[in-house]
Amino acid sequence: MSNGLLKGKRGIIFGALDENSIAWKVAERVYEEGGRFVLTNAPIALRMGAINQLSEKCEAPLIPADATNNEDLNNLFIESVDKLGGKLDFVLHSIGMSPNVRKNKHYTDLNHEWYHKTLDVSAMSFHRVLTAAWKNDSMNDWGSMLALTYIAAQRVFPDYNDMADAKSMLESIARSFGYHYGKEKKVRVNTISQSPTPTTAGKGVKGFDQFIAYADQISPMGNADATACADYCVAMFSDLTRYITMQNLFHDGGFSSTGVSAEVLDKM
């Protein structure tokens, strides 16, 4: 299905690791809609190799960049504008990682060095990306920059651990930088708060299977999957959403507005 919504648009997609990644589905849908882009990930993730298939399929150059490294990000934006033949219209930040979650550290006993790492990789990296694009004047007017987040930024999901703090910060960065991008460059900056989705990062959260089943039963429409999230990203990159900015947009089948559902009550 293509409506040519992104025909002539250029961008960068961060975070496609394997075919389950949300960024992978976004890349496929953006390509279908006529968008052209550079794919990027941390050098170590690129070495795993799966992304080469996606790069071929979408005719997308691959440029490694560690999202916690300003020099990598500056190079990425300069090279992307060069390779794609002009300034950019969209950026997807689809990056998350917590050493504390990986190593099963409880929230009351966090390793604070790792906590720094969680915040840097999962939140401050968005500030770094927005800064690199700003300083290199890489975005076209009416461009769109998006990051993916989760409702643990607003409500407690205990096993989401320090990632909850990172997501709160990420959403705040979208608002704060969105103000300046709106004023100076007519570029919008938003976060999409996605349903739990079975990906490498998602499945790393303790109790993920129960977590996803619970969300599915609370949400009147059920969980939104990665393909539906990709559709929403396409809409947010298109010219149909030009005045939406500094928002956290729930894409969750109604989960965020529901207190309890008949299915969950029946289990009590």
Ligand X SMILES: NC(=O)c1ccc[n+]([C@@H]2O[C@H](COP(=O)([O-])OP(=O)(O)OC[C@H]3O[C@@H](n4cnc5c(N)ncnc54)[C@H](O)[C@@H]3O)[C@@H](O)[C@H]2O)c1
Site residues (CB under 6 A) for ligand X? 14-15, 17, 21-23, 41-42, 45, 66-68, 94-97, 121, 148-150, 194, 196-197, 199-202
Residue 268, token pair as written in the block: 């009590």
The four Cα atoms 244, 237, 122, 45 give a dihedral, to 10 degrees, of 180
Q: Which is nearer to ligand X, 76 or 139 (CB)?
A: 76
Least separation in angstroms between CB 55 and ligand X: 14
Least separation in angstroms between CB 18 and ligand X: 6
Least separation in angstroms between CB 261 and ligand X: 19
Least separation in angstroms between CB 7 and ligand X: 26
Q: Which is nearer to ligand X, 148 or 169 (CB)?
A: 148
Residue 28, CA distances (Å) to 60, 177, 186 in order: 11, 28, 27
Q: Which is nearer to ligand X, 15 or 35 (CB)?
A: 15
Q: Which is nearer to ligand X, 6 or 148 (CB)?
A: 148
Least separation in angstroms between CB 106 and ligand X: 20
Least separation in angstroms between CB 25 and ligand X: 9
Burial of residue 268 (CB within 10 Å: 0-12, 13-18, 19+) is exposed
Q: Which is nearer to ligand X, 45 or 140 (CB)?
A: 45
Please state, in angstroms and rounded to a whole number, the distance separating the CA atoms of residues 105 and 90: 36
| Sheet arrangement for strand 88-93 | 36-40, 10-14, 88-93, 139-149, 188-194, 248-251
| Residue located via tokens 């938003």 | 190
Q: Check: CB of residue 229 under 8 Å from CB of residue 192.
A: yes
Please state, in angstroms and rounded to a whole number, the distance separating the CA atoms of residues 39 and 162: 27
Q: Which residue has its beta carbon closest to ligand X? A: 202
| Residue located via tokens 């790492």 | 117
Q: Which is nearer to ligand X, 65 or 140 (CB)?
A: 65
Q: What contacts 221, CB < 8 A, 6 or more positions away?
A: 253, 254
Least separation in angstroms between CB 39 and ligand X: 10
Q: Which is nearer to ligand X, 6 or 26 (CB)?
A: 26
